[in-house]
Amino acid sequence: MKPVKAGLLGLGTVGGGVVNVLSRNGKEIARRAGREIEISHASARDLKKPRICETKGIQLTSNIMEVVNDPEIDIVVELIGGDTIAHEAVMKAISNGKHVVTANKALIAKYGNEIFSEAQKKGVMVAFEAAVAGGIPIIKAIREGLAGNSIEWLAGIINGTGNFILTEMRDKGRAFADVLAEAQRLGYAEADPTFDIEGVDAAHKLTILASIAFGIPLQFDKVFMEGITAITQEDVSYATELGYRIKHLGVSRRTDKGIELRVHPTLIPHRRLIANVDGVMNAVLVKGDAVGPTLYYGAGAGADPTASAVVADIVDVVRTLTTDPENRVPHLAFQPDALSDIPILPMDEVETAYYLRMSVADKPGVLAEVASILGGKGISIEAMIQKEPAKEGSNADLIMLTHKVIEKNMNEAISAIEALNSISGKVVRIRMERLDS
């Protein structure tokens, strides 16, 4: 049987990794796929740029559409990123009747509904395992391995840059800005790190995971996002003292009112396995009603880990080239006509526990004032630390952990606390998740 021909859009880190993995493990991959897989055509912006892979035998071009329109190509592998040219190329590939493999989380999160609809009409597959958590096969795990479960919730460390920063702040006592600069020097963060540190990248990935877990359309515009730029060394230290670690977490949970969809810094009990995922590593914790909590851990980026997921998708496509299009695994795990219109819960209606830090006047009655405001909103205190002032007459740090409360009530309580004469500046609020079964 003749080899299946694939065309790469992008021959950078991930594209080069794909070529290397296919070259290195070609025979083993062919045994699994049932046919050989050949990269016959690839596009790159700069054809003279040194590559991490051997390009002999690959037709190179700087014109993306030349690959997309190549009649010999069976599978288009989109690795250029972004959601403009990539969107155009993927839609054209589908129109040409070609299967698509992509590592582009922004593209899927923003345009996936449209892309999957067109792919369904054309009878082609769009595979996107590498779009979430790099080399961790989390999409396949939820879509197929946990297909017998009703997913109750999931929580993930799905951005390695943010996790590296918080790990360094905790382990080495470094300031946020200092660690961010190092992350940029090491290549973990872009020159403009906004997507990583403000939660946009994680929100793209959470959008995809939640859609697959709960059978809802992709709804990136409804994700609540809060970054890690306001996390201080003091917060990291106080969290550790209280038995917690701060992680930048993507959380989605099914409730009676709707689906929670949120990315924000989160205190997690230090004994939880996911709390001990450090550096640039990723992890996703999924709770199914039958299996209970399951944890998926691994490299969230890099040439070979991401290429591992891309090649696995190519193998899946090759395996199903002769399969009835109506009987393939659905793109979003549920059959297209069975997607649910369960609403996304507004952040104001989400219920969670909180870490609060405030700068208070060192005088009698302050704690009573704060406790009275919290009690008036139905908020009970689980634990508390009050630090001695650095010098006589200066303010003291007051740290509280609360039990679960509706976010709207906490917002109102914080506003009232900040209005007290005995409180200086803003109240620092970090949400808390137990992540138990």
Q: Find, among 147, 160, 169, 301, the residue nearest to 230 by Cα.
A: 169
* Residues 333/169, Cβ–Cβ less than 8 Å: no
**Which pair of structure tokens corresponds to residue 410?**
């906490």
The C-alpha angle 120, 329, 10, rounded to 5 degrees, equals 70
Give the count of beta carbons closer than 10 Å to the beta carbon of residue 304. Answer: 18
2 part of the active site: no
- Phi/psi of residue 114, each to 5°? -65, -45
Q: Find, among 27, 111, 102, the residue nearest to 317 by Cα.
A: 102
Q: Return the SS3 of 426.
A: strand
CA distance 358 to 390: 15
The β-bridge partners of 266 are: 247, 431
* Structure-token match 């597959």, residue found: 125
Residue of 98, 110, 140, 205 marked catalytic: 205
Whole-Å CA distances, 283 to 195, 245, 352: 19, 15, 21
CA distance 403 to 432: 9
Whole-Å CA distances, 3 to 36, 70, 431: 5, 16, 52
Q: Find, among 396, 401, 400, 399, the residue nearest to 363 by Cα.
A: 396
DSSP 373-390: HHHHTT--EEEEEEPPPS
**Which pair of structure tokens corresponds to residue 335?**
């059959």
The residues annotated with a catalytic role in the active site are 205
